[in-house]
């Protein structure tokens, strides 16, 4: 019994069991709070994507019109979409899903020239490396590397990542986006720096063409768990081999680039046919498009044919390389028939000395009404002296091509013989370890046209939250019951 005048002595409790009961829900609570923060810390990187922007249509019309009498040229793999919109590619950058902060830099550029005076261009503006930046507060802007010539002084100045335009993201949240993030028709307003870049043609505050961009958000792989330190003398099976994989039975490895003749077993041929032809196909007249088959790929400003087979003799400078893949252009549809239905398949590059030829299997229907059965056609010629050996590749970059008379017929007379076609780039590995340059990364196909980013409920952290909450509730209830029982015990 308690002694009068003295406080009762509390019964002894098993401290270890009580701590366990209380620590478990606390640990689960911490884990529950840690997971979303962890997901935000592991920022998905921007890996691939495209940006489509026409700058300002009145400016493009002015450059190519009778006053400036100028032109524009694409650089760095930039392409056109529909004839009046430029497409920039291979986005890289960073993204914070917890705040919506985004930085996406795109490759490629465009240069405008005009007003030829005294052998030069009074108008000379180059824009490249466009970058979209959105802050956590909702502000956004478009930056670019700019080189421009002043109308007043004639001096050319260059600025890295000038703030060209302010972007309006009113009502748009970029938080917790996953997969492909697409924003369409984003309003753009010229800044003071942008006005200087345009040589004073427009004042700050001028509305520019809206832009559309799509980026692929790629979550970095989780950090692997620590592995035991390998022993000083690892067994052969535990040591990864760095040697090239063995050739399949019945094949022979490609000889080195120094050999007299080299058998070609892979490669890539990049060619855009002609930019104006692509714009014609997708434009308001033909209202068509193209389909790829047989391994052909779309590089934005060009098509890629692969799986080269043939040989190269550096001593005699003779080349014979055949590629696979098909590009089919269709348009001018009337009823159930396309007035344009032209297929270019299985290109072949041949060269003897300085004479180079590009041949395609051509078939289909051309706008002049002619119909062709599949047959090889020598489309264009080139200077084979431009072929060179570099990094164990037989290569040529932006090789000029001239349309032949047979090629002019293949295009139904759209272009006369002698027309300069899009340049060609070829990469032919001469050794087993040589690598082919990758295609421009246009990212995943945009999955939405609305400028709204939503979270993916299938993410690991989102899936675990309900389970952790349930476990936390059960653990807390168990701990509470345990404490109550201990207090009721004499």
Q: Give the start-end residues of each E strand in 34-135.
A: 45-53, 71-75, 79-81, 85-96, 101-107, 109-117, 120-134
Run of H or E residues at 23: helix 15-41
Mean pLDDT of 229-241: 38
**Is there a contact between 332 and 314 (Cβ–Cβ < 8 Å)?**
no
Radius of gyration of the chain (CA): 32
Predicted pLDDT of residue 219: 65
Per the listing, tokens 């920039």 go with 88
Average pLDDT over residues 274-295: 92
Residue 308 pLDDT? 92
Unique residue bearing structure tokens 């040697």: 243
Residue 14, C-beta contacts closer than 8 angstroms, at least 6 positions apart: none
Paired tokens of 15 = 């401290």
25 vs 191, residue with greater confidence:
191
Confidence of residue 221 (pLDDT cuts 50, 70, 90): low
Q: Per-residue pLDDT tens for 315-335?
A: 999 999 999 999 999 999 999
How far are the Cα atoms of 151, 379, 410 from residue 413, in angstroms, in the given order? 41, 13, 8
- Which pLDDT does position 447 carry in this prediction? 58
pTM above 0.75, yes or no: no
pLDDT digits (tens, 9 = 90+) for 348-376: 999 999 999 999 999 999 998 899 999 99
Average pLDDT rounded to a whole number, residues 217-242? 47
Beta strands in 366-473 (DSSP E): 371-383, 388-390, 393-403, 420-429
Q: Strands, E, within 202-246: which ranges?
A: 207-218
* Per-residue pLDDT tens digits for 73-113: 988 889 988 778 999 999 999 999 999 999 999 999 999 99
Q: Which of 2-6, 209-213, 252-256 has the lowest mean pLDDT?
A: 252-256
Residue 158 neighbours by CB distance under 10 Å = 10
Place of tokens 């830099």: 105
Query: Any residues with CB less than 8 A from the CB of 137 and at least 6 apart, and which?
Result: none
DSSP single-letter state for residue 250? T
Q: Residue 80: phi, psi to the nearest 5?
A: -115, 155
């Amino acid at each position: 019994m308690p002694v009068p005048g003295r406080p009762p002595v509390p019964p002894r409790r098993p401290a270890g069991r009580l701590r366990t009961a209380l620590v478990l829900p606390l640990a689960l609570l911490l884990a529950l709070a840690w997971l979303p923060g962890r997901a935000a810390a592991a920022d998905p990187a921007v890996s691939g994507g495209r940006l489509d922007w026409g700058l300002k249509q009145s400016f493009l019309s002015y450059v190519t019109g009778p006053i400036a009498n100028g032109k524009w040229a694409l650089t760095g793999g930039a392409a056109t979409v529909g004839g009046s919109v430029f497409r920039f590619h291979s986005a890289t950058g960073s993204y914070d899903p917890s705040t919506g902060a985004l930085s996406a830099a795109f490759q490629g550029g465009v240069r405008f020239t005009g007003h030829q005076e005294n052998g030069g261009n009074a108008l000379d503006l180059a824009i490249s490396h466009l970058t979209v930046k959105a802050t956590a507060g909702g502000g956004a802007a478009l930056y670019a590397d700019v080189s421009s010539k002043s109308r007043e002084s004639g001096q050319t100045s260059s600025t890295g990542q000038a703030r060209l335009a302010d972007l309006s993201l009113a009502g748009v949240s970029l938080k917790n986006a996953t997969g492909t993030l697409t924003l369409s028709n984003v309003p753009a307003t010229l800044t003071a720096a942008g006005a200087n870049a345009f040589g004073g043609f427009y004042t700050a505050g001028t509305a520019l063409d809206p832009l559309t961009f799509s980026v692929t958000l790629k979550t970095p792989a989780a950090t692997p768990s620590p592995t035991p330190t390998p022993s000083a003398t690892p067994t052969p099976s535990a040591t990864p081999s760095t040697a090239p994989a063995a050739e399949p039975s019945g094949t022979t490895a490609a000889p080195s680039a120094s050999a007299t003749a080299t058998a070609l077993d892979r490669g890539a041929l990049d060619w855009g046919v002609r930019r104006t032809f692509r714009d014609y196909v997708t434009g308001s007249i033909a209202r068509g498009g193209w389909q790829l088959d047989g391994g052909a790929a779309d590089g934005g400003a060009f098509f890629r044919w692969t799986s080269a087979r043939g040989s190269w003799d550096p001593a005699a400078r003779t080349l014979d390389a055949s590629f696979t893949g098909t590009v089919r252009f269709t348009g001018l549809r009337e009823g159930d028939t396309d007035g344009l239905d032209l297929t270019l398949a299985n290109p072949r590059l041949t060269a003897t000395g300085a004479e180079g030829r590009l041949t395609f299997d051509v078939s289909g229907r051309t706008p002049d009404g002619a119909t062709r059965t599949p047959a090889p056609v020598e489309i264009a010629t080139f200077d084979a002296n431009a072929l060179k050996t570099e990094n164990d590749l037989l290569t040529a970059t932006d090789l000029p091509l001239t349309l032949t008379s047979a090629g002019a017929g293949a295009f139904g007379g759209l272009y006369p013989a002698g027309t300069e076609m899009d340049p060609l780039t070829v990469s032919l590995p001469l050794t087993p370890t040589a690598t082919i340059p990758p295609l421009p990364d246009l990212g995943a196909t945009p999955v939405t046209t609305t400028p709204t980013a939503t979270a993916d409920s299938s993410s690991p952290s989102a899936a675990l939250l309900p389970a952790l909450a349930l476990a936390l509730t059960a653990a807390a209830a168990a701990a509470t019951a345990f404490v109550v029982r201990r207090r009721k015990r004499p």
